[in-house]
Amino acid sequence: MVNDHGKDLPLLIKDGHIINPGQGVNEIANLLISNDIISWLGTGNPPVKEEYNVISARNMIVCPGFIDLHCHLCEPGFENKETITTGVLATVKGGFTTVCCMPNTEPPIDQSSLVELILNQAKKRGKRMSFLLPVSAGIGKGKALRIYPPYPNPEQLLSAMMAVP
């Protein structure tokens, strides 16, 4: 939601059970998100008084997004089972922000062009996905994982895969 000046309003999530093991947080509290960044965590009201979008999270868990390390999107080749669209929409609805899709597709996801196809499809349909990681093993071909150009090293490939906002 935006205010009268067209500016996105900060999001205040109130009274949620906030769990973040990485930060040692496990408490009922409020969380303020401004410009896609957690800017405040606490009880009571945020220190800055302004207009907020407010979500009541009473009796709900607020936590970092889940990661699915074994997802079957089936596209390309087996769209009758699952598509990138249906898979991404289901994962977002379930609280997942990252999926690692298996290469059991036809053809297998073992080339940069197929990785880019999946990323582009996911980007169109899963605006809330952090990123999507195609896991490639050359299924049915007996090949080990290969990193094809334009990604000469795993860091560049991962960086390219993190392009989905």
7-31 pLDDT, tens per residue?
688 999 999 999 998 889 999 999 9
Whole-structure pTM over 0.85, yes or no? no
Report the SS3 class of residue 121.
helix
| pLDDT higher than 70, residue 42 | yes
CA-based end-to-end distance of the chain: 19
Does residue 104 form part of some domain? Answer: yes
In eight-state DSSP terms, residue 8 is B
Domain closes at, from 45, 62, 79? 62
What pLDDT, in 10s, does the model give residues 80-107? Answer: 998 888 888 888 888 888 888 877 788 8
| pLDDT higher than 80, residue 115 | no
79 and 157 housed in the same domain: yes
- The pLDDT assigned to 132 comes to 57
83 and 100 housed in the same domain: yes
Does residue 132 form part of some domain? Answer: yes
Does residue 140 form part of some domain? Answer: yes
CATH number at residue 31: 2.30.40.10
93 and 155 housed in the same domain: yes
- The pLDDT assigned to 164 comes to 37
Over range 106-116, report the average pLDDT. Answer: 77
Q: Whole domain around residue 38: which residue ranges? A: 11-62
96 and 27 housed in the same domain: no
- Tell me what percent of the residues of the chain surpass a pLDDT of 70: 71
Domain closes at, from 44, 62, 80? 62
Domain tally, the chain: 2
Task: Read off the amino acid at residue 28.
Answer: I
Does residue 115 form part of some domain? Answer: yes
96 and 114 housed in the same domain: yes
Q: By C-alpha distance, which of 155, 77, 73, 57 is closest to 121?
A: 73
pLDDT higher at 23 or 121: 23
